[in-house]
Amino acid sequence: MKKCLLGVLTIGIAGVFALVSIKKIEDVKAQAIVQEESQNEKKNLAIEVALHDFTNLEEFNTTFFDTPDNSWMVPDVSSEGSNDGGNSHGWSIMPSQELAEDSNIVDDDTGKTVYTLKASDGSTAGEIREALAKRDSE
């Protein structure tokens, strides 16, 4: 009887440890998903480039004062798109994300495509403004 009770207690304790371990694994997985989602938000190329190019929201708004928040903005990160060694970049602006299309940058001398601006790399002007405002407040 004592061996049986000891066996039941051992199994019970092992079960509790297994449940705790499963819970910890689930927590780690959930945390990884949240971190991945927040990293994906930060990895938007348009927002990254805007955070690099503009010191604050005011500078962005001065440059794009007539650009509505729903305009889709795609940065030109090619060597053709920066005339100051990569410190700032050109931008393609479309009326909306729905109307945004990939566009090619063509070398004038060779006629060959040197870079493709991908609409998927863009963000709305409003989202860029939000990211700059958030950084300004930190």
Q: Is 35 in the same domain as 103? A: no
List the one residue out of 103, 95, 102 whose CA is nearest residue 124: 95
Instruction: Give the global pTM.
Output: 0.65
Q: Is 38 in the same domain as 53? A: no
Q: Is 25 in the same domain as 86? A: no
Q: Is the model's pLDDT at 119 over the cut of 70?
A: yes
More confident residue, 84 or 91: 91
Q: Is 84 in the same domain as 21? A: no
**pLDDT at site 131:** 98
Q: What is the pLDDT of residues 32-84, one digit of tens each?
A: 554 555 545 557 999 999 999 999 999 999 999 999 999 999 998 887 666 66
More confident residue, 65 or 19: 65
Angle between helices 45-53 and 125-137 (to 10 degrees): 50
Q: Is 35 in the same domain as 52? A: no
Q: Is 37 in the same domain as 56? A: no
